[in-house]
Structures are given as C-alpha cells and as structure tokens.
Amino acid sequence: MKRSASPPLPVSRCLARLGEGISLARRRRHLTQQDLAARIGSSANTVRRMEAGHPGIAMVLFARALQVFGELDKLEQLLETSQDTVGLVLMDAQLPQRIRKSRRTPESGGF
C-alpha cells in the first residue's frame, strides 16, 4: 500500500483548526465523541482523528458533523462563486474589449 505524502504545512494547520472547531462545537453541545460518532455513522476513533486534524478523514464525515451541529450551510458557502475574486478577475480579463453588432440582418437570412 502506497503511503501518500504529508500535506503542506498550511493545509495541516487548516485541518488542525477545523478539528479544534469540531471538538469545541461537540463539547459546547455536551456530546461525547461516541455520541458524535453514532450520529455521523463512524467510530469514536474516527472522531478523535477528525478532531486531531488527521488528513485522511473523509469529507463526508465533516459534512455530517456540520449537519449535526446545524452548520451545514457553512460548507456550502466555502466556494461561493460570487465571492471568488480570483476567478472573477480571470473571467473579466477574458472579456472582449469591444462588442460589435453583427452585419447580418433578419432580411438577409442571418440572425
């Protein structure tokens, strides 16, 4: 079995912060790791790994945890296209400089 390379440091830090957030949300709701595991359909060990920021945890488990916490909409907003400034700048750079009317007329058989 091939072992994947460890993620870059910014990714590891982000996963650790996400895990801390999951842990905090769970404890604020007075749920044990076993309780959360049962509600998301996993084991308590998986919840421990999730809270530790382990990079091998499936995204669906994070989504299920967010659903349990009533925060699933936050996941949907992660890459809101209207807020994607880089993507919008790239699209704007490809816009034509000028817009010209077609020389075709409906009478000549064109559109």
Q: Say which CATH number the domain at 67 has.
A: 1.10.260.40
> What is the pLDDT at residue 67?
97
Mean pLDDT rounded to a whole number for the chain = 90
Domain interval for residue 37: 9-74
Percent of the chain with pLDDT over 90: 61
Residue 21 has pLDDT above 80, yes or no: yes
- Please report whether residue 79 resides in a domain: no
- Please report whether residue 39 resides in a domain: yes
- Token code pair at residue 5: 């390379």
- Please report whether residue 107 resides in a domain: no
- Please report whether residue 106 resides in a domain: no
How many distinct structural domains can be found in the chain?
Answer: 1
- Please report whether residue 85 resides in a domain: no
- Token code pair at residue 7: 């993620």
- Please report whether residue 35 resides in a domain: yes
- Please report whether residue 32 resides in a domain: yes
Question: Per residue in 61-102, pLDDT tens?
Answer: 999 999 999 999 999 888 788 888 888 888 888 888 888 888
Sign, CA torsion 59/24/74/15: negative
- Please report whether residue 83 resides in a domain: no
Strands (E), 2-58: none
- Token code pair at residue 63: 């989504």
Residue 1 has pLDDT above 90, yes or no: no
Q: Is the separation of the CB atoms in 40 and 68 below 8 Å?
A: yes
